[in-house]
Structure 1
C-alpha cells in the first residue's frame, strides 16, 4: 500500500512539473475531441430525420427502338431518376410518347425527350429556328424515300411544268425528320422535313398539286 501511494504521489508531482503550455494543449485537444464527437452525433440525428430527395418520373425506352414506327405502350416505361440527372424536355408520362414517332433511334433505358419525338420541338431543333415546322412531302419517285434517313440534308425541288423547264428549288438544306411508310402498299412513303416557318409555309403551298423530288446534299 505504501508503494502505491508513493507512485500516485510521484505521478501527481510529475504532472505539476509539466509546462503550463503543454498542459493547456492537452486540455484543448480533449475539448476538441469531445466537440467533434458531439457534432457527429448531431449530424447523424439530422441525417436520419431528413427525408430522402424524391425521384422524378421520366419515360424511358423499354427496349432498343428504331425511328419511324408508331410507339406502343410496351415500347416505353416510367422510371424514377434523381431530379438533377433529368434532361430538359424529358417526358414524364407514357401518354406523351405512346402514339408518337421517334426521329432517331434510341437505346433501351434512354430517357425520351421532346426533341426525340416527331413534333414542333424536333423541327425547331433540326432547323435551328424558333418558328420551324415539319413539312410532309411525298416524293414523285418513291425510291427516293429509301435513300434518306432522319438527319439527312436534302433540297426540295418542285416538278417542272414542261420537259424544257428545269425544276425549281423550293427549299435548300432541309433536314429530314422522319420517313413514314404509306398508309397502304399502293401509297408512297412520306418524308417529313424541318424548315423555318416562312419557308415551311411556302413549300407546303407550292407542293399542292405539283410533284416534288429530293436531292441529297
Structure 2
C-alpha cells in the first residue's frame, strides 16, 4: 500500500500543479458547447396557415383571420390550403386549427359524402335557415306560392355549409322574399330538380328522424 501511494504521489503533484490549466480547459469546453447549442440551426418546419382566433361557419376569410405556424415535416395536415383568403368557411374553426379544403365552401365539401354533389339553394325564409347546422339531414320541400300541393324535391340531404352573406348585397329571392343561402349535398340526378324548385317555388326544409 505504501508502495502504491509512493507511485501515485508524483501523479497527484502533477495534477495539482496543473489544476488551473485543467479548470480553464473544462470551462472553455462548457462555453463552446453552450455556444454551439445556441447557434445550431432550428429543426426544419413547413409553414401552415391556421385560424388566428375562433371563426364561425360562413365567415369570409381575411388576412387578419389567419396566422402561420411551423409544422414538422411529415405532420402536414392533409388538404392544407395555401391561399384561403376570400373563401368562405363551411364549418366553424377553432383558433390554431389548420385551414384544410374540407373546411371551405367548394368541391371538397362532398369528400365525406360519396356520390353527392354540392348544391347551393336559397331558402326564402331566413328564420328557417337559422335553425340549420352543418351536418343536419333535411328534406327539401317545394311549395308553389300561387297554389298547389307541396312536394318533397329531395329527401335526407345533408347540410354542407351555411355561408354568411352581406344583407346589403344578398338581394331578394325569385319569390320576392329575402332569404339565406344554404349548401346541401344531393345526388346528381336531384340537382336540376332542386335548382328549378329554388327559383320557381317557395323552398323550405323539414327535419326527419
Q: Under a length normalisation based on structure 1, what TM-score does the superposition of the two structures give? A: 0.66
Q: Deviations over 1:72-109 (max 9, x none)?
A: 11001122101222221112x2x2x1111112111111
Q: Deviations over 1:162-192 (max 9, x none)?
A: 64x4322111111112223454366321122
Structure showing greater radius of gyration is 1
1:177 to 160, 165, 190: 160
**Map of 1:166 onto structure 2:** 149
Higher relative contact order (CA 8 A, sep 6+): 2
Q: Under a length normalisation based on structure 2, what TM-score does the superposition of the two structures give? A: 0.68
1:210 aligns with 2:201: yes
Structure 2: gaps (5+ residues): 5-36, 172-177
1:103 aligns with 2:90: yes
2:129 to 135, 139, 145: 145
Change in CA separation of 1:189 and 1:199 when aligned onto 2, cut-off 3 Å: same
Aligned residues: 167
**Map of 1:157 onto structure 2:** 141
Q: Deviations over 1:97-153 (max 9, x none)?
A: 11111121111111111001111101332xx125x3322222233321121122221
Secondary structure of the corresponding residue to residue 122 of structure 1: helix
Structure 1: gaps (5+ residues): 6-47
Secondary structure of the corresponding residue to residue 124 of structure 1: helix
TM-aligned CA deviation for residue 56 of structure 1: 1.7
